[in-house]
Amino acid sequence: MPQPPERIAFDDFLKVDIRVGEVIRADPFPEARKPAYRLAIDFGPDIGVKKSSAQITVHYTPDQLVGRKVAAVVNFPPRQIGPFMSEVLTLGFPDAAGEVVLVGVDRDVPVGGRLF
């Protein structure tokens, strides 16, 4: 039987800054160990455009990603992925095969909005 997830305090949750952004560019990332795209995501004037490496090539093409609203953690430290510096963690859930399906919004919201 799987163990239940560790409980955290609500204040710990508040430390994770999850924002909505709009993908403004999506390019193949052939240097990545696993198939991925290099994304440029606009989070609005307060945060700006940030880069993310995302292993989402099974369900999405670059053309399908541009203009799409995505959720991302914007306050993790940047992470070097091969020759690319990923600045935010784009969020998704695994499908039945373990491939990433992006977290999105079901209505139009302004970029930069914080999850609560």
pLDDT confidence of residue 38: 98
Report the sign of the C-alpha dihedral through residues 59, 72, 19, 13, in that order.
positive
- pLDDT of 2 strictly over 90: no
Nearest to 113, CA basis, from 86, 104, 32, 60? 104
Q: Are 23 and 70 in contact (CB under 8 A)?
A: yes
Centre a 10 Å sphere on the Cβ of residue 22 and count the other Cβ atoms it contains: 18
How many residues are there in the chain?
A: 116
In this prediction, residues 66-95 reach a mean pLDDT of 97
Collapsing DSSP to helix, strand or coil, 62 comes out as helix
- How much is the pTM? 0.93
Host H or E run for residue 12: helix 10-15
- pLDDT-derived band at 1 (thresholds 50, 70, 90) equals confident
In this prediction, residues 72-96 reach a mean pLDDT of 97
- pLDDT-derived band at 20 (thresholds 50, 70, 90) equals very high
CA distance 116 to 40: 24
Q: Are 49 and 40 in contact (CB under 8 A)?
A: yes
